[in-house]
Amino acid sequence: MHIVGIAIGFCVFVLEGLLILRGMGSRVFRLFPLFYSYVIYCFCWVVGMYLISWLDPQAYPSTYWICYLVSILVEFTVLVEISDHIFQPFPAIRKLGRALTVLIAAGLGLFYILPTILGSAGRSRLLLEFALRASVTKAIILAVLFYMARHYDCQMGKNVRGLMLGFSIYVGMNVALMASAQAFGSALFARILWFMEPLAFTLCLLVWTVSLWRLAPMPSMRAFSTVTERDCEAVTLELNRFNSELTKFLHK
């Protein structure tokens, strides 16, 4: 089992390194700054953990859990990155993804995650519950983004699709694993679940590496377009016109 852990850790290290090197070599790094900041954080975490286990093994568990807690929060930057890119071609709703992500995260953070932190359960139980609820929140945000993307016929490029697919696999597996750990107790976690989460992350990294290997252009927006393209200012004017027309009727 120890070998499995080392092998997964090595895979994570290699894939993250590849992702960063490839990103720096192409324009992908500039286009997805928040995502790459997250990958760099994970890379530093892996390297730091190896160093700590070698230099000060006593400090390893506490450092690991602190970094793990921070990573739960840092993962929200991936969602912000995804949401920024989904609606990028549409000037009228360019910021819709970010607004949805921030609003859902703040709402669920306040009413769904925060009560767990304030609860008086044991430390391990509290950590598990916090990770589970944070994962459910991320899953909800992803589902809403998927729905809105479908609603507005957004055709995502290969890069963004890969980001979403990889993160969805990771979040979906996280929810299932955390819920299993909560239901069946620490014995199951000690036997199987401890390496399942890094495995899910490795799978996610694999999808990200393949999809971000090279910069993919955005697909043409529609196979059969019935509208002519206008620039941002024209859309703003049209929006103002819509609003004034409707307000006029409301004031009648």
Partner 1 sequence: MLIYAAIAIAFLILVLGLLRKPQPLDPDEALSKKIYSPSIGNGRWLDLSERIFDPSDAQWLAEELAFPRLAESLTLGRKRLAIRWLETLQASFDEMVRTPDPTPSEDLAVSSAGSWRMLWLTIRFKLLVSYALLVVRLFGPYHQLIPSFSWLPFSRESEPRFRRAALANNRSSP
Using DSSP's 3-state secondary structure scheme, residue 181 falls into helix
105-113 long-range contacts, CB within 8 A, separation 24+? 105/76, 105/79, 105/137, 105/141, 108/133, 108/136, 108/137, 108/140, 109/137, 112/136, 112/137, 113/137
Burial class, 51, CB count within 10 angstroms (exposed 0-12 / middle 13-18 / buried 19+): exposed
Nearer to partner 1, 18 or 206 (CB): 206
Binding pattern for the stretch 141-170 against partner 1, x by CB under 8 A and - elsewhere: -xx--xx-xx-xx-x-----x--xx--xx-
Helix axes 33-55, 2-25, angle to 10 degrees: 140
Nearer to partner 1, 29 or 43 (CB): 29
Q: How far is the CB of 176 from partner 1 (least distance, A)?
A: 4
Residue number, 49 or 102, with CB nearest to partner 1: 102
Which x/- pattern over 203-242 shows residues binding partner 1 (rule: CB under 8 A)?
Answer: ---------------x--xxxx-xx-xxxx--xx-xxxxx
By CB under 8 A, the residues from 32 to 61 that bind partner 1 are none
The answer to whether 142 touches 167, Cβ cutoff 8 Å, is yes
- Element containing residue 62 per DSSP (H, E): helix 60-86
Q: State yes or no: residue 95 binds partner 1 (CB under 8 A).
A: yes
Would you say 46 or 179 has its CB closer to partner 1?
179
If the CB atoms of residues 14 and 92 are measured against partner 1, the closer one turns out to be 92
Q: Of the candidates 247, 166, 224, which has an alpha carbon nearest to the alpha carbon of residue 200?
A: 166
Q: Does 250 bind partner 1 (CB under 8 A)?
A: yes
Residues 6+ apart with CB under 8 A from 7: none
Q: Does 93 bind partner 1 (CB under 8 A)?
A: yes
**Calpha distance 252→248 (Å, rounded):** 7
- Annotate each residue in 173-192 with x if it binds partner 1 (CB under 8 A) or - if it does not, as one string: x-xx-xxx-xx---------
Judged by CB under 8 A, which stretch of 44-52, 66-74, 112-120, 134-142 contacts partner 1?
134-142
Nearer to partner 1, 55 or 223 (CB): 223
What would the two tokens of residue 239 be?
Answer: 């929006």
Which residues lie near partner 1 (CB under 8 A)?
30-31, 84, 88-96, 99, 132, 136, 139, 142-143, 146-147, 149-150, 152-153, 155, 161, 164-165, 168-169, 171-173, 175-176, 178-180, 182-183, 218, 221-224, 226-227, 229-232, 235-236, 238-243, 245-247, 249-252
